Amino acid sequence: MRTTGENIEIRTGDITVRFNDLGEGSIPVIFIHGFPFDKTMWQPQTEALKNNNRVISYDIRGFGKTSAGKEKPSIQLFADDLIKFMDVLQIKKAIVCGLSMGGYILLNAVNRYPERFEGIILCDTQCIADSPEVKEKRKKTIAQIEKDGLSEYAENFVKTIFTEESINSNKTVVDKIKQTILATAPVTITQTLHALANRQESCFALTEIRIPTLIICGRQDIVTPVSQSEYLYEHISHSEMHTIDKASHMSNLEQPEEFNKHVSAFVAMLQPAILTPLA
């Protein structure tokens, strides 16, 4: 029997997952948060979609209120967690949306379990692996966090993921993301930085994706630039792409109305039509 509401807990494998499950709909829409955030980053989207859809947002292992388990974090492990989560909820097929690291997780899962997805939404993400330069930068970040904690890291990180306009005019949203980072265990962040640095590229499999795909990117994203989204669009058949002005890496929070417009239209296209009986 399905339990609906916010902050529900279920056991999946070696972890306890905290999630929200709201609304009703034939095909669930599942949201995977980015790094180093939690499910609350999707609040504008779940609120907008829940009246016409079943929407689920969950905390990845180690983030938010989901337990970390004992396994070493990896993108493949996070993707396996997604499938186990769907299994426990008895969801055979879903529309799944991932932003940034959530996109890495989604691409990994789609490549191995394509039959589990009705459609996918890739937001401010990419298929490439880390370059040697980016790996070295992550290594230095890990050392800095282990030495000094998260305060300086959180302060600097929000400056890279929001536009300057958002930082100056949308302080509530920016501060909430900063507090989410600070509330995360430093070891979860450092271990996940290792996982990001060691992830495999998934570009080789893009042409194999036969699932309807929506690609969204903030025009001012410097973390996963528009060029990376354009590459996804060029190599995934049955895909559409939208670039959002006045948005950086957190396009869903910086311009939620436009973001929601694109997501809602895509989800509506994939939901089965409700036939009204003839009088």
Evaluate whether residue 135 is within a structural domain: no
Average pLDDT of the residues of the chain:
96
Evaluate whether residue 114 is within a structural domain: yes
Q: What is the CATH number of the domain that holds 244?
A: 3.40.50.1820
Distances (CA, A) of 243 to 122, 225, 248: 12, 11, 10
pTM for this prediction: 0.96
Q: Is residue 273 very low, low, confident or very high in pLDDT (cuts 50, 70, 90)?
A: low
pLDDT tens by residue, 103-158:
999 999 999 999 999 999 999 999 999 999 999 999 999 999 999 999 999 999 99
Cα separation, 28 vs 94, in Å, equals 5
State which residues form the domain around 63.
5-129+201-270
> Cis ω on the peptide bond leading into residue 36 (within 30° of 0)?
yes
- Residues paired with 240 in a beta bridge: 214
Evaluate whether residue 82 is within a structural domain: yes
Q: How many domains does the chain have?
A: 1
